[in-house]
Amino acid sequence: MSPSFVVCRDGESVPESLKGAVAAIGNFDGVHRGHQYLLSMALNSGKPAAALTFEPHPRTFFQPDRPLFRLTPEPVKLKILARLGLDGVFQRRFGGNLAALTAAGFVDLLANDLQLSGVVIGHDFHFGRGREGNPARMAELCRERGLECLIAPAVVEGTEPVSSSAIRAALEAGDIATANRLLGYRWFVQAEVRHGDKRGRVLGYPTANMRLPDDCRLRHGIYAVRAIVAGRPVDGVASFGRRPTFDNGAPLLEVHLFDFSGDLYGQVLDVEFVGWIRGEERFDGIDALIAQMDRDSAEAKRMLAEDKTVSMIG
């Protein structure tokens, strides 16, 4: 993350670099192409450019019994926002106090607490208690307070707007190509490498084992991946699932990196998903499993060699 990129959280004074900023407002889960369009409008404003985002995701507050598959947990989201060239992020805790603000009270927060000079919102943006505010109301309230208000149109893929929901659905189906196309970059996860049962070494495929968040609903299967190790990209093949040939245990991401040897335990790795290879299977014997792993590796190398998708981490 750039040293000039600032994260301003609740209770913190607005840093000088963000005073008078134009802020794009949203949850930005995924920071997909639609989000990037909003952010580009802030970046092109001629003023400090920021995002205003919320943690936890508001849906978690309003529907606590429905786990939300987060495309970009907080550290990943901040990493992408910094990579896009913003001056910083205003991050506000979403709880009862924020949910109770009227539309007018929310715009007062923008003008007075955050000291913004303008905002960028989407065409379908709603805000304030009971979602009482809409883009037209935001424009009216901003005008009364001397703030600029820019309203972004929908970014469309085919006939459908690009959305976080569509990307979640693609990942749940294992459709990495569609997810990456809607994102505008390779979807990636960030996790610590943990000790495993060392079974991969015996099979000739040592792996870096990572536990993804419990809410991750990525389809279980085999993927072509690319990891960043010591600042450089390393191609690989990964399995995400329960290992039905062995223990059918808790879901685990197991990444085999090609042409790499070294100790990664305790390191936090970024792993990009480049392509879907096949679903998770149970094999009758080790020889059949190894033969399939050989084929998976060859297919992963082919996919990686042909992939032209943008990276947000390397």
Higher-scoring residue by pLDDT: 283, 125: 125
Amino acid at 61: F
SS3 168: helix
Of the candidates 254, 272, 280, 299, the residue annotated as catalytic is: 254
Q: What confidence category does residue 301 fall into, taking pLDDT thresholds of 50, 70 and 90?
A: very high
Contact 197, 207 (CB under 8 A): no
Q: Has residue 3 got a pLDDT over 70?
A: no
Q: What confidence category does residue 199 fall into, taking pLDDT thresholds of 50, 70 and 90?
A: low
Q: What's this model's pTM, rounded to 2 decimal places?
A: 0.94
- The predicted-structure confidence for 39-64, as pLDDT tens digits, reads as follows 999 999 999 999 999 999 999 999 99
Give the lowest-confidence range in 28-32, 232-236, 261-265: 261-265
State the chain's mean pLDDT as an integer: 94
Q: Has residue 200 got a pLDDT over 70?
A: no
Q: Has residue 246 got a pLDDT over 80?
A: no
Give the rounded percent of residues in the chain with a pLDDT score beyond 90. Answer: 84
- The predicted-structure confidence for 264-278, as pLDDT tens digits, reads as follows 999 999 999 999 999
Contact 147, 117 (CB under 8 A): yes
pLDDT of the residue at 193: 96
- Give the pair of three-digit tokens for residue 149: 């208000």
Nearest to 93 by CA among 7, 152, 16, 22: 7
- The predicted-structure confidence for 68-119, as pLDDT tens digits, reads as follows 999 999 999 999 999 999 999 999 999 999 999 999 999 999 999 999 999 9
Give the rounded percent of residues in the chain with a pLDDT score beyond 70. Answer: 97
What are residue 127's DSSP bridge partners?
133
pLDDT of the residue at 107: 98
- The predicted-structure confidence for 204-242, as pLDDT tens digits, reads as follows 789 999 999 999 999 999 999 999 998 899 999 999 999
Contact 291, 230 (CB under 8 A): no
Higher-scoring residue by pLDDT: 217, 262: 217
Q: Has residue 197 got a pLDDT over 70?
A: no
Give the lowest-confidence range in 77-91, 156-170, 184-198: 184-198
pLDDT of the residue at 202: 59
Nearest to 208 by CA among 220, 187, 222, 191: 191
Rounded Cα distance, 188 and 196, in Å: 22
For 180-306, CATH gives: 2.40.30.30
Q: What is the DSSP letter of 96?
A: H
pLDDT of the residue at 2: 54
* Average pLDDT value for residue range 127-153: 97
Q: What angle in degrees, to the nearest 10, is found between the helix axes of 164-172 and 176-183?
A: 160
Q: Where are the domains of the chain?
A: 6-157, 180-306
pLDDT of the residue at 286: 87
Rounded Cα distance, 226 and 159, in Å: 31
Nearest to 99 by CA among 144, 141, 57: 57
The H or E element containing residue 137 is helix 135-145
The CATH fold of domain 6-157: Rossmann fold (3.40.50)
* 140 catalytic residue (yes or no): no
Q: How many beta carbons lie within 10 A of that of residue 232, not counting itself? A: 8
